[in-house]
Amino acid sequence: MTNDPTNKEIKKGRILTGMVVSDKMNKTVVVEITRLRKHPKYKKYFKITRKFKAHDENNTYRIGDKVNIQEIRPMSKYKRWIVIGKV
The 10s digit of each residue's pLDDT in 13-41 is: 999 999 999 999 999 999 999 999 999 99
Q: Is the pLDDT of residue 72 over 90?
A: yes
The share of the chain scoring above pLDDT 90, in percent, equals 85
**What pLDDT is attached to residue 8?**
59
Q: Examine residue 6 and state whether it is found in any structural domain, yes or no.
A: no
- Average pLDDT score, the chain: 92
DSSP, collapsed to helix, strand or coil, labels residue 33 as strand
Domain total of the chain: 1
DSSP, collapsed to helix, strand or coil, labels residue 47 as strand
Cβ neighbors of 5 (< 8 A, separation 6 or more) are 55, 57, 72, 73, 75, 82
- Dihedral (Cα; 37, 13, 54, 59), 10-degree rounding: -130
pTM of the model: 0.83
Q: Supply the range of the domain harboring residue 23.
A: 15-86
Q: Is the pLDDT of residue 12 over 60?
A: yes
The 10s digit of each residue's pLDDT in 40-49 is: 999 999 999 9
CA angle (66, 86, 49) in 5-degree steps: 30
Q: Kindly report the CATH number assigned to the domain that includes residue 28.
A: 2.40.50.140
- At 44, the amino acid letter reads K
